Amino acid sequence: MILTDTHTHLYSELFDLDRNESIQNALNEGVSRFFIPAIDASYTQKMLDLESQYPNNVFLMTGLHPTHVKENYREELAHILNQLEQRKYCAIGEIGIDLYWDKTFLKEQQEAFITQIRWAKERKLPIAIHARESFDEIFEILETEKSPDLKGVLHCFTGNLQQAHQALDYNMMLGIGGVVTFKNGKIDQFLHEIPLEHILLETDAPYLAPAPHRGKRNESSYLKLVALKLAEIYQTDLPTIAHITTENSKRLFGV
């Protein structure tokens, strides 16, 4: 059985003391594929180091996280373009719009999002979208940018059924993580109406740990708890969830 964590920040400082141990714990639980989203240029070297240490397990994205869109965002975008020209990445992400923390740079977030979407389409790469309190703004941009080459995942999906269908209409998969195990998470109430072929598993480690670890540091090994919850929702078994979601990740990311 192979489980695929399509969104995990294993390079985070929160893993600096036990990164290898944490990865080994995940491998022991059957989680053997890790897709690593970028935040900004300051983490690039740590991501490359991680890939060189686990070349058969780690797949890197490049991109500028919306909460890191600041005055220097054009320099950050130049770094991403340079990375795309230098080497192969499996996706551009995580990118998007975040209106939860700070709305100061909304215009710049929108510009950075559009720019990175266009780079992805040019290179036929998927995108990993971060949407926090910004579904309307995200969908507005996806509407203007839709094309046969637009594809990706709405990472950490926490929307409603209508928004889920909207995402699918833009050729996006839904990244399902720890929120599905929360009592007040709500997505568990309608997720069964979305075919499994559109679902990816993720942890967003070290954030958003699933129950019963909620509030603690999340780990990729906890992906199994998310998969077990999906098995319950879709009335199937763990190996089926693991197989279908891993095949979905191969189809989207090409690896």
Please give the CATH number for the structural domain made up of 3-253: 3.20.20.140
> What is the structure's pLDDT at 185?
84
DSSP assignments along 104-172, one per residue:
TTHHHHHHHHHHHHHHHHHHT--EEEEEES-HHHHHHHHHHH-STT--EEETT----HHHHHHHHHTTE
pLDDT tens sequence for the chain (255 residues): 999 999 999 999 999 999 999 999 999 999 999 999 999 999 999 999 999 999 999 999 999 999 999 999 999 999 999 999 999 999 999 999 999 988 899 999 999 999 999 999 999 999 999 999 999 999 999 999 999 999 999 999 999 999 999 999 999 999 999 999 998 889 999 999 999 999 999 999 999 999 999 999 999 999 999 999 999 999 999 999 999 999 999 999 999
Phi, psi angle pair for 87, to nearest 5° = -155, 175
> What is the structure's pLDDT at 98?
96
> What is the structure's pLDDT at 6?
98
Phi, psi angle pair for 102, to nearest 5° = -165, 130
> What is the structure's pLDDT at 172?
98
> What is the structure's pLDDT at 94?
97
> What is the structure's pLDDT at 102?
82
Domain ranges of the chain: 3-253
The C-alpha atoms of residue 239 and residue 72 are separated, in whole angstroms, by: 45
> What is the structure's pLDDT at 43?
98
Tokens of 71: 């005055």
> What is the structure's pLDDT at 101?
80
pTM, two decimal places: 0.97
